[in-house]
Amino acid sequence: MVINLRFFNRSELMGFIVLAAVLFVILPLSLDVFRLNLVAKYLTYAFVALGLVLCWGYGGILSLGQGVFFGLGGYCMAMFLKLEASSVENTKIQSTPGIPDFMDWNQITSLPLFWQPFHSLTFTILAIILVPGIFALIIGTAMFKRRVGGTYFAIITQAVAAILTILIVGQQGYTGGINGMTDLRTLKGWDIRPDHAKVILYFVEVVLLFACIGIAQFIRLTKLGRILVAMREQEDRVRFSGYSVANFKIFAFCMAAVFAAIGGAMFALNVGFMSPSFVGIVPSIEMVIYTAVGGRMSIFGAIWGAILVNFAKTSLSESFPQLWLFGLGALFIAVVLAFPNGLSGLWADYVQPRIDRLFTSRKSKSAWKDNSVADGAPAE
């Protein structure tokens, strides 16, 4: 009962409405298709940020390797699209028609076994969820069951990101190497490149994002959400309350991986290619920065972080390409030093109280005093 009535508290409900209004109405009406497609690209990172809120913000598990899962999801999607784009007619100039172009360039004459199932869209969708999910399960089990945590875990995830990048670049006959998988064209015969397709894909992505927000919010409100918070503070107390801490960490890490993978798959669809430059150490750290800037304890904050930092990245790197990385670094330092709870923390400290006061004064005018006190001071 309590949970049903209060799926969102008042400030979260406002966050939900504002985000829904901006993404569903304001941006599609005010931006041209090119800019809207850029927003779609930023939103793919919002999925990653959402996962990091659960895993890092709530569970206290800092992963510097989310690019791995973003990449796995993206590559699964890209493999399906690439196979469809490499039909025999499209590739008849190759020495072996019907296989992806980069395989042909690398003297591979038949489709490798692990590529075969990606002819099926059902398999691909399952793989987008399961491949990163199972990979996270293996890493999580190996690390958390041995009580590897904190900085050591972060370093290992970073190493995994480096390894996967090297693997993808090195095996270019199977993966497209440093260039990635380009020239993706159709999804089940439906062209993903023209403007109207971009708009539809944008809306599909926003709907998926809201579904993921729903899942994350549901998890946050169950006892599992509270155990994650408890674990972050007093791991031993959770253990001696009868819980297997490792299993809960594995769960949070796997959820973050699956969210990141969905983002990656949407990236391949919206942007039309996938490359190792979205997998490695630098993109993985950038993902943590979006989350930190937005506020790692806040679902909506992190999503705004992903959108705004990427927007800044595009605008700044259009005008001052060399300055961007310094700007990003400075931003991260500023967040850590000056406002550790990110934008959502600033919002909760400075904006929310004003809004609450506005409500309170209006309410007291209509003689609702008793409610306004309890309602107006949610300890965020």
Partner 1 sequence: MLVGHQPKEFLLAVSGLTVSFDGFKAVNDLSFYIEENEIRVIIGPNGAGKTTVLDLICGKTKATEGSIQFRGTELTKLKENEIVKAGVGRKFQTPSVFEDLTVFENLEISFPRGRTVFGSLTFQRDQQVKDRVEEVAEMIFLKDKLNTYASELSHGQKQWLEIGMLLIQDPDLLMLDEPVAGMSVSERAKTAELLNRIIKNRSVLVIEHDMKFVEDIAHKVTVLHQGQILSEGTMEKVKNDPKVVEVYLGH
Residue with smaller CB distance to partner 1, 270 or 298: 298
What does the angle CA 118 – CA 121 – CA 122 come to, to the nearest 5 degrees?
Answer: 105
CB of 372 to partner 1, least distance (A): 17
Q: How far apart are CA 355 and CA 353, in angstroms?
A: 5
Site of tokens 């690439």: 82
Site string for partner 1, 3-42 (x = CB under 8 A): x---------------------------------------
| C-beta separation of 251 from 216 below 8 A | no
Residue 224 interacts with partner 1 (CB under 8 A)?
yes
Residues between 243 and 282 with contacts to partner 1, criterion CB under 8 A: 243-245, 247-248, 251
Which are the contacts of 240, defined by CB distance < 8 A and separation ≥ 6? none
Residue 234 interacts with partner 1 (CB under 8 A)?
yes
Q: How far apart are CA 135 and CA 148, in angstroms?
A: 17
Torsions phi, psi for 186 (to 5 deg):
-130, 155
Q: Classify each residue of 320-344 as buried b or exposed e, where b means 16 or more C-beta atoms within 10 Å of its C-beta.
A: eeeebeeebeebbeebeeebebbbb
Which are the contacts of 199, defined by CB distance < 8 A and separation ≥ 6? 28, 33, 36
Residue 52 interacts with partner 1 (CB under 8 A)?
no
Distance, first Cα to last Cα, the chain = 22
**Residue among 120, 222, 315, 371 that touches partner 1 (CB under 8 A):** 222
**Residue among 229, 312, 325, 331 that touches partner 1 (CB under 8 A):** 229
| C-beta separation of 270 from 37 below 8 A | yes
Residue with smaller CB distance to partner 1, 234 or 315: 234
Residue 239 interacts with partner 1 (CB under 8 A)?
yes
Q: How far apart are CA 309 and CA 290, in angstroms?
A: 6
Q: Classify each residue of 275-301 as buried b or exposed e, where b means 16 or more C-beta atoms within 10 Å of its C-beta.
A: bbebbbbebbbbbbbbbbbbbbbbbbb
Residue with smaller CB distance to partner 1, 27 or 55: 55
**Residue among 6, 35, 237, 357 that touches partner 1 (CB under 8 A):** 237
Distances (CA, A) of 211 to 204, 205, 215, 259, 378: 11, 10, 6, 11, 26
Residue with smaller CB distance to partner 1, 222 or 361: 222
With residues binned 3-state (H G I as helix, E B as strand, rest as coil), the percentages for the chain, rounded to 5, are 75, 0, 20
CB of 28 to partner 1, least distance (A): 35
Q: Which span sits near partner 1 by CB under 8 A: 102-110, 201-209, 234-242, 341-349?
A: 234-242
| C-beta separation of 80 from 333 below 8 A | no
**Residue among 93, 113, 367, 379 that touches partner 1 (CB under 8 A):** 379
Residue 371 interacts with partner 1 (CB under 8 A)?
no
Residue 56 interacts with partner 1 (CB under 8 A)?
no
Residue with smaller CB distance to partner 1, 215 or 316: 215
Residue with smaller CB distance to partner 1, 238 or 265: 238
Residue 192 interacts with partner 1 (CB under 8 A)?
no
Residue 223 interacts with partner 1 (CB under 8 A)?
yes
Residue 148 interacts with partner 1 (CB under 8 A)?
no
Residue 230 interacts with partner 1 (CB under 8 A)?
yes
Query: What residue ranges bind partner 1 (CB under 8 A)?
Result: 2-3, 219, 222-224, 226-227, 229-230, 232-234, 236-245, 247-248, 251, 379
